[in-house]
Amino acid sequence: MSTSDILDGLDAEQRHAAETLLGPVCILAGAGTGKTRAITHRIAHGIQEGVYSPGTLLALTFTSKAAGELRHRLRVLGAPGAVVRTFHAEALAQLGYFWPDLVGGSAPRLLDNKSRYIVEAAERAKMRLGPGAVRDVAGEIEWRKTSELSIEGYVTAARGRPLPRGLDADAVAEVQQQYEELKDERRRIDFEDVLLVACGMLDSEPIARERVRTQYRHFVVDEFQDVSPLQHRLLKLWLGDRTDLCVVGDANQTIYTFAGASSAYLLGFERDHPGAEIVRLERNYRSAPQVLDLANRLMRGRPGALDLRAATAVRGVVSEPIAYDDDAAEAAGVAEAVVAELAAGTAPEQIAVLHRVNDQARAFEDALGARGIVTRSLAGTPFFEIPAVRKLTSALAVQAQRFPDDPVRGFVADTARAAGWTVDRSHSRLAPQDWAGLDAIVRFAEATPEDVTLARFAAELDDREQAKGELPMSAVVLGTLHSAKGLEWESVYLVGLAEGLLPVSHARGEAAVDEERRLFYVGITRARRRLTLSWARRGQRDRERQPSRFLQELRTGSRDAAPTRAR
């Protein structure tokens, strides 16, 4: 692919980002503005021009799924050799490489899951923790370490945090102390220790530090607003005194401060890197102007806020907030609206119902299921781990080995039918999720060119699985606002927009409420054309609710008014 081909199709701001190959670069990229497109074309362009060699550029992401997507796009652009990893994957690879020479023997083994150790640690501390408390303690361990706090420092810093039910900061600290001692006794490290130990190694071992800096000359960091203090320290150790760092982020989408993320490094990039090139991506290719107007009004005046403008004039629909009598009525009302959308021709997978906390999902799942609508939870089983999908992909892999040049279309559909799939779901005995998974593979096969072979199709499925990707299932999506980040749908229902739910009840103080505002912004900007807002006047035990302060702010334009009672 030629340089002109790589840069063709980029807008002026994206092209500027792609052509700025050296020096500190900060790309402030709003929701839907093509930030992944900009950075992948920048990397591919730099390799094409000879400014980067693939093995000396390290692109860092926060999830394996994001890394897989980045690698896939770079392959398409003709830059398959670029190193794309998560912070943890790169740190773990470095520990495995240097440990035998610098320390001797093999590195400590990585814990698969903290839960068992936390339960045992609590027992040592004469406490008994339920599953929810174990999960919350794990979150506190992760927050402490990514924030680079000692256990003593944690006790002071945790005073204003929502803590596991029934535990104060001293009790959580005691469980953490026992947890650390258990790990040391058994020579184990957890996920966060990987970064801590890597930092310690690079700090104390000049040989390791210089070898890493010799290998990696250029760095790209995606989602820079989510960098924690610990990750930022590791990045600085990798970078040294060099300046070839490109970061991409959006302060409006900082929604993981509870896990240690800080937008301060993004907002202070120009101060920390004098002479940095700042590129603003504000042309939104996802959402209708009406959706973006709501998003802009919500975030106007906030630190790092971008002014999104629609690249399309296609008209969207944003509802006035709908107030239902109670949670059941809200779920029923949303379900009826979804039924109407499906009847009008919207594909099920292009509709999402987004909520703040996991407990809200059940009512909507039940209401939609009662109307015969298949749903898929973003927190549910990953696509390629759905039992029926696993069996079908295994059968395809076996057949592809035996008959690699056979056509794909007929075989996939026939194999799916043998597994219980039918064109009309009502005629299938499969569980809804199993049916939807098989249906997604059949539709994917039918959409491939006729000359695609079984071997090529099986390889494509394997690539998607390795990249943590999915196929679109014929199902309405249910998910939390956190899980929806990075995704988009034609129609989005933002539900439960009441005080105590958004902002959530434990969000106390200006910083915590600001995080809830950003979550609302993320939800709004998931919608392409249609956005429906709703809340319920009464919740559990008939408790009266008030509309979210964010709804009132959007209505009045004022951030100073206290929440008012629903009429």
The per-residue pLDDT for range 245-255, each reduced to its tens digit, is: 999 999 999 99
Q: With pLDDT > 70 as the criterion, what percentage of the chain qualifies?
A: 97
Residue numbers in the known binding site are 29-36
Overall pTM surpassing 0.85 (yes/no): yes
Average pLDDT over residues 364-375: 94
The DSSP string of 471-488 is ---SSEEEEETTTTTT--
Of the listed ranges 8-12, 114-118, 466-470, the one predicted with least confidence: 466-470
Q: Report the C-alpha gap between 35 and 225 in whole angstroms.
A: 13
In this predicted structure, the answer to whether residue 401 has a pLDDT above a threshold of 70 is yes
SS (H, E, C) 219-233: EEECCHHHCCHHHHH
The per-residue pLDDT for range 50-74, each reduced to its tens digit, is: 999 888 999 999 998 899 889 989 9
Burial (CB count within 10 angstroms: exposed 0-12, middle 13-18, buried 19+), residue 425: middle
Sorting pLDDT into bands at 50, 70 and 90, what band is 2? low
In single-letter form, the type of residue at position 52 comes to Y
Sign, Cα dihedral of 174, 177, 179, 181: negative
The structural domains of the chain, ordered by start, are: 3-91+196-281 (3.40.50.300), 112-189 (1.10.10), 290-380+475-556 (3.40.50.300), 383-466 (no CATH)
Is residue 135 a contact partner of residue 162, using CB atoms and an 8 Å limit? no
Closest C-alpha to 350, from 535, 526, 206, 469: 526
In this predicted structure, the answer to whether residue 272 has a pLDDT above a threshold of 70 is yes
Sorting pLDDT into bands at 50, 70 and 90, what band is 144? very high
Residue numbers in the known binding site for ATP are 29-36
pLDDT at 107: 84
Q: Report the C-alpha gap between 43 and 54 in whole angstroms.
A: 9
